[in-house]
Amino acid sequence: MSTQKRAYKFRCYPTDEQKQMLARTFGCVRFTYNWALRLKTDAFYKEHTRLYYKDLSSMLTELKKQDDYRWLNEVSSVPVQQALRHLDKAFINFFEGRGKYPTFKKKRKKQSATYTSSAFTFRHGVLTLAKMQEPLAIVWSRPLPAGAIPSSITVSQDAAGRYFVSLLVQEDIAHLIPCETTIGADLGLKSFVALSDGEMVGNPRFFQQDEKKLAKAQRRLAKKQKGSKNREKARRTVARIHARIADRRADFLHKLSTRLIRENQTICVESLELKNMVKNRSLSKSISDVGWSQFVSLLEYKADWYDRNLVTIDKWYPSSKRCFDCGYIFESLTLDVRQWTCPECGVHHDRDMNAAKNIRSVGLTVLNACGEAVRPGAVKTNAGKSQRSRKPKK
């Protein structure tokens, strides 16, 4: 059993008065974030100095005293202050190579505000935020852990106008019973994943299913006059289609990743360089739709939660071109070739299934730190651990 921070997200339905207060709060948070980002950027490039959270916090206090910015005091100060912390975290992620340079927040994109424990009350399933008289109407789609007390709460509104509340709690997550099952997974486009035990999970192609409907809604949006109510209605229609695609994809990936984690002790996957793969103009739309990166991220944190092993082998390992039976490696194997026969041993292979078996074999070898391995490079197992691979044996 391990103690982890876990967020529980629920749909909520604020009243008209609460919507107005949330809209003002979102606006103040967005303004503070953008204001601080501009100050930090200008200070670095123009004055060659750096501003930190402490400096920006003091400057924000002085800003609120000015007559032109008195409206910042109309909402709770906690979400506004948290915007500075989020910006500080964004810069830390940028300098440590985990993210891009922070960008300005936009009004028509997702909005959010984070409340710490001093800015909300939560008793017996009733949540009341600061500056609000009535509690939020939340649809409790699943129960919180017994005795859980949220340390922070994030209220968000997506581009489709839906409201959500996310409660961050400390939870003791029980590890799954260890098992001996291991599996290799080859991610693809024709089938979403081919498993080394022979199972093929089809690619749902959620974007392709709604592509025509989305294109029609976007054409209607382009014809509407900017600033009109009809344009806002058309924008919401486009946003709802995007939300439907994203929700269905997330549901599929969560269910599949949870099943694989529960059924297997070790899962071996191949690392993919998606930034380079989406440069292929013929496949970029399909690659963006399939959600490989999100799927691997789900496997990573779920493996950490439930004490499973996730091994990621090197992206340059020839899993598709290598014969699983004899080790023969094809010099070239184009994407249109889905099945091939090994000229060395004569075994007929399905391309994806052969790759899944090779990924499993190499992943287990790396995990046990002996035998055949892949090219030099760090090979990740579960979160926070890594193992160094070796060159293939000749």
DSSP assignment of 219-259 equals HHHHHSPTT-HHHHHHHHHHHHHHHHHHHHHHHHHHHHHHH
Q: Are residues 28 and 62 in the same domain?
A: yes
Q: Are residues 232 and 325 in the same domain?
A: yes
Asked if residues 167 and 7 have their Cβ atoms less than 8 Å apart, the reply is yes
Rg (CA), the chain: 25
Q: Are residues 234 and 379 in the same domain?
A: yes
Q: Are residues 149 and 253 in the same domain?
A: no
Residues 6+ apart with CB under 8 A from 200: 191, 193, 194, 352, 353
- pLDDT band at 21; cut points 50, 70, 90: very high
Average pLDDT over residues 209-222: 95
Of the listed 88, 270, 289, 314, which one is catalytic?
A: 270
Of the listed 158, 289, 314, 352, which one is catalytic?
A: 352
Residue 393 lies in a domain: no
**What is the separation of C-alpha 212 from the centre of its chain, rounded to a whole number of angstroms?**
26
Domain boundary among 146, 173, 200: 173
Rounded distance, CA 30 to CA 80, Å? 8
pLDDT for the residue 378: 37
Q: Are residues 235 and 382 in the same domain?
A: yes
pLDDT per position as a tens digit, 73-119: 999 999 999 999 999 999 999 999 888 999 999 998 999 999 999 99
Residue 207 lies in a domain: yes
Domain boundary among 124, 141, 173: 173
- Residue 394 pLDDT greater than 50, yes or no: no
Residue ranges with strand state E in 284-345:
309-313, 339-341
* Per-residue tokens: 251: 């549901």
pLDDT per position as a tens digit, 153-192: 999 999 999 999 999 999 888 899 988 899 999 888 888 9
352 belongs to the catalytic site: yes
Q: Could you say which DSSP state residue 72 is in?
A: G
Q: Are residues 169 and 190 in the same domain?
A: no
Rounded distance, CA 314 to CA 331, Å? 18
Q: Are residues 233 and 110 in the same domain?
A: no
Residue 350 lies in a domain: yes
Of the listed 88, 158, 186, 314, which one is catalytic?
A: 186
Nearest one of 137, 98, 100, 110 to 30, comparing CA atoms: 110
Tally of domains in the chain: 2
Q: Are residues 216 and 348 in the same domain?
A: yes
HSE-CB for 143 with a 13 A CA cutoff: 4
pLDDT for the residue 380: 44
- pLDDT band at 375; cut points 50, 70, 90: very low
- Residue 307 pLDDT greater than 70, yes or no: yes
pLDDT for the residue 264: 92
pLDDT for the residue 369: 61
Q: Are residues 145 and 193 in the same domain?
A: no
270 belongs to the catalytic site: yes
- Print the domain residue range for 317: 183-388
Q: What percent of the chain is predicted at pLDDT more than 90?
A: 58
| Inter-CA distances, 52 with 40, 59, 84, Å | 8, 11, 9
Asked if residues 15 and 134 have their Cβ atoms less than 8 Å apart, the reply is yes
Instruction: Indicate the length of the chain as a whole number.
Output: 394
- pLDDT band at 385; cut points 50, 70, 90: very low
pLDDT for the residue 319: 82
The three-state secondary structure class of 210 is coil
pLDDT per position as a tens digit, 246-276: 999 999 999 999 999 999 999 999 888 777 7
Lowest mean pLDDT among 141-155, 195-209, 367-381: 367-381
- Averaged confidence pLDDT in the chain: 87
Q: Are residues 145 and 198 in the same domain?
A: no
74 belongs to the catalytic site: no
Q: Are residues 110 and 46 in the same domain?
A: yes
- Residue 379 pLDDT greater than 50, yes or no: no
Q: Could you say which DSSP state residue 65 is in?
A: T
- Residue 391 pLDDT greater than 60, yes or no: no
Average pLDDT over residues 357-382: 61
| Helix, strand, coil % over all residues of the chain, rounded to 5 | 45, 20, 35
Residue 23 lies in a domain: yes
pLDDT per position as a tens digit, 327-364: 778 777 777 777 877 877 878 888 888 888 888 888 88
